[in-house]
Structure 1
Amino acid sequence: MAFRVRVIHSVLLGLIGLSFIVYSSYYVSPGQMYKSEALYKAEAPSEDFYRAPNKSLHSNVSFLDNRLLEAVMVTNFSVITVPATAVDTKKITSTKAALGLEDATKESVIQHVPPPAPVQNKKQGEGIKTEDLYVAGFNIPCVDLCPKLGEGLKILILVTSAPDHCEARSAIRQTWGHYNLRNDMAIAFVVGIGSDAGNQIVNEESNLYGDIIQGNFIDSYDNLTLKTVSMMEWIHDYCPESYFVLKTDDDMFINVPKLLTFLVKHQNSKMTFFGRLAKKWRPIRKASSKYYVSPVQYSAKIFPDFTTGPAYLFTSDVVSDVYTKALETTYLKLEDVFTTGVVAQALKIKRQHVNEFFNKRIPLNACTVKKGISIHMVKYHEQFELWKKLLDGRSKCK
């Protein structure tokens, strides 16, 4: 009898142990345990920074939970292969219907067609109209970014990025991107079409944060101008009521309080590009150069004055005219020269130099950070360092 009890006791203990092993294997995964040290280097802004009422977060997930989810997300993407020739026609409710401005039962049809190939080197010396390269529309339209088409927004900040630059976007969201909580400001990232893995990253971020705009073009250096044209189309369609727009890159640090102060001083401006003005720059005619421009693309010996591309600000009343004129103009891959130089000059749009746009690498000390509106060539991990220096109230600057 005693022997039989011991056997049953041993079997029960064995079953309990097996259940514990199965439980541990099921609920503990490497992805859930992963933590990125960089995600915890940012400090939340003080209450003084939010001078406008805060809008609700994109989801009910807290900032800390967002960081954890992003750490898991970055390490657990699956790759989905999409046939390059696929044409997907989807019915979606129009923007005005979504905003309650028209009958929500009406639907518009948006046809997603394969984007054009990147501008090939053999075509760089030819004169090609931008409209022959550009495909309108958006794979990810981000229609909820600007409620009521941007009415009440002081500024819309659009950050040009690449699909696989997830670390740069993450760093911005955790630092100066915090200002996206203001009701009078909106911030989003503009990307093109990348690899399957890159597109999966973009889709995951879009679902999690709701701050991704993806246009119908291959994301490449030669297509930077297409990215800006896509940006202009998006503003025209979804956020025309925002008074100012800042175009910047994902390797830029933006001093948002300084920018807001600048906006107040120029709130009556019309039809203007603001930024670091480049004057009397000459086209490079050497065909092997990354910046080569043929006489067919641009025949004059000197470019029009233009604001350099890492960051420039403009009043939104330029958008419609710039978008239309850009499509009619011979394509240049030099995005800033094309948009704020060639096109702006043709439309007689004013370009104004602003010293505070440091569109270059500068000493990263607290005083220079506080003096500038934009700083260029900032690595993603440096965003946290500059953010802390911006918040530093101890430094005494002249």
Structure 2
Amino acid sequence: MIPQLQFRRCIIFLCCISLTILTIFCFSFSNEFSTNLVQPNVQKQMQHLNFKKLQAIADSKQVEDQQNEDPETSNIIQKSDVVSFFRNIVGENFDFFVKLKDTRMKNVSFSEAGAKELDEVDQLPNLIDPILKSSKLESIESNLIPDDAETSTTLPNLSYKDPTPTQNKPKLPYLGKVSEIYQPVFLYSPSKICESHDDNLQLIIIVTSAPGNFKARNAIRKTWGQLSSTEAVKIVFIVGSSIPKNEKKLNDENAKHADLIHGNFVDSYFNLTLKTISMLEWVINNCQNAKFILKADDDTFINVNKLLKLLKPRMSDTKTIYGRVGTGWTPFRDKMSKYYISFDEFGDSLFPDLTSGPAYMMTRDCAELIYNEALDQKYLKLEDVFITGIIASRLNIQRLHLKEFLNKKPSRIDECLLRKSVSVHYISPREQLWLWKIFIDGNKKC
């Protein structure tokens, strides 16, 4: 009786083991089958995400371009992190290119045939009220530079007398004086733009632009730059040297518009300080009758009317720089950072008070004072820190904070915010058109 009972128990035990093994095998096979079935569909759907969704994802990552653009800037996400983020989602067929010029994703493209560049189909995200659709918009867009205009690549080197790549370049970081590398020569410039306006010229706007940013410059000309047709305001663009293809297009652009200042330096992130010094030299020699000078990036929307209103009570000001003032900023000591500053470049623990770079304005007398002092000082690549911080501090130039200089892109832009602001940053050429439409067509009471 006992052996028979043991035999039954043994049979039951073996059956349980067999059932367990069979269950595990079926579960594994089911997972593998479902993965093989679902994954291609998911990948296919991800590879066909429209660009608007991709832009929304990119915007949600809040990739910042320049750490020293705004006192509230924080949590900068590195370019490689964002690239890895999208590659992990979509796979190897997806190429995500990030260009850090203000803090936005500039180009998103697929390797699939027939994919279009983001800037060709870029639509303003849900940041602006879609109430201002105008029939004039299509005609404005049709006048933009054709879509084959390319964006120049950043050339991380300093230029001496000749902008050609055959010239010897100093090893970065460069620790010599500005005067040793700056060449006071313009390949061409609009020398007569201020001549005929005498005392009526209140403001000269100089837009710092990369050579390949043809669409950005043309969008400004078709929007808020139109206000430069008055005697009170004039606008010009300043660029440096670039690749031959861009140089040919720049020549054609200048022949058409006659509003380009072409400085004698390689246009790159490391040469932004040289670009601003070149801007100041041009003002000194060609626009002495302007009462104020506004420096703005080409991805910034400027409310010229608001700016002129701010100027009226300040016509007698001297030795003043206006903008978004940053206080207590510390140098980046991380060698892997784009904004790394060594102790040899700047030894103090805090930068002087400064105005952030996307847009700031100065009284006319500041131009010559800053220019002469800057030439005799040690070069620093951070343009706003060097010009409006270090040099302005040495000259006891006042830095005046004006809240109207946003110098960033708010989470939402409506008509009232736009009309109360002087500068909004990280604006694409297409967004310039929408903001201009808000500006000229809006009738909302604020």
**TM-score normalised according to structure 1 size:** 0.71
Residues 242 and 114 of structure 1, relative CA distance in 2, 3 Å threshold = same
Residues 250-290 of structure 1 show CA distances to partners (whole Å, capped at 9, x for unaligned) of: 00000111001001021111110000000000011112211
CA distance in structure 2 between the partners assigned to 1:306 and 1:198 by the alignment? 33
Residues 67-104 of structure 1 show CA distances to partners (whole Å, capped at 9, x for unaligned) of: 877656x7599xxxxxxxxxxxxxxxxxxxxxxxxxxx
Q: Does 1:300 align with 2:300?
A: no
Q: Does 1:396 align with 2:421?
A: no
Q: Does 1:380 align with 2:429?
A: yes
Residues 232-252 of structure 1 show CA distances to partners (whole Å, capped at 9, x for unaligned) of: 110011112200010000000
More strand by share: 1
Read off the aligned partner of 2:311 and give its amino acid letter. L
Shift of 1:122: 4.5
Q: Does 1:218 align with 2:266?
A: yes
Q: What are the residue-to-residue correspondences of 1:111-130 with 2, within 5 Å?
A: 113-115=161-163, 122-124=171-173, 126-130=174-178
Q: What are the residue-to-residue correspondences of 1:304-343 with 2, within 5 Å?
A: 304-343=352-391
Shift of 1:180: 1.3
The answer (yes or no) to whether the contact 2:144–2:215 under 8 Å persists in 1 is: no
Residue number in structure 1 paired with 2:414: 365
Shift of 1:215: 0.2
Shift of 1:121: 9.0
Residues 149 and 368 of structure 1, relative CA distance in 2, 3 Å threshold = closer
SS of residue in 1 equivalent to 2:324:
strand
SS of residue in 1 equivalent to 2:240:
strand
CA distance in structure 2 between the partners assigned to 1:320 and 1:373 by the alignment? 25
CA distance in structure 1 between the partners assigned to 2:168 and 2:221 by the alignment? 32
Matched-pair identity in %: 38
Residue number in structure 1 paired with 2:191: 143
SS of residue in 2 equivalent to 1:158:
strand
SS of residue in 1 equivalent to 2:357:
strand
SS of residue in 1 equivalent to 2:321:
strand
Consecutive unaligned residues in structure 2, runs of 5 or more: 1-119, 123-132, 151-159
Residues 370 and 208 of structure 1, relative CA distance in 2, 3 Å threshold = same
CA distance in structure 1 between the partners assigned to 2:198 and 2:376 by the alignment? 27
Consecutive unaligned residues in structure 1, runs of 5 or more: 1-35, 46-63, 78-111
The answer (yes or no) to whether the contact 1:119–1:223 under 8 Å persists in 2 is: no
Residues 42 and 322 of structure 1, relative CA distance in 2, 3 Å threshold = farther
Residues 194 and 308 of structure 1, relative CA distance in 2, 3 Å threshold = same
CA distance in structure 1 between the partners assigned to 2:443 and 2:141 by the alignment? 29
Q: 1:244 aligns with which of 275, 292, 295?
A: 292
Read off the aligned partner of 2:356 and give its amino acid letter. T
CA distance in structure 2 between the partners assigned to 1:115 and 1:42 by the alignment? 44
Residue number in structure 2 paired with 1:254: 302
Q: 1:286 aligns with which of 329, 334, 339?
A: 334
Residue number in structure 2 paired with 1:194: 242
Shift of 1:393: 3.7
Shift of 1:367: 1.3
Read off the aligned partner of 1:374 and give its amino acid letter. S
**TM-score normalised according to structure 2 size:** 0.64
Q: How many aligned residue pairs are there? A: 305
Q: Does 1:175 align with 2:223?
A: yes
Q: Does 1:272 align with 2:331?
A: no
CA distance in structure 2 between the partners assigned to 1:42 and 1:224 by the alignment? 37
The answer (yes or no) to whether the contact 1:116–1:134 under 8 Å persists in 2 is: no
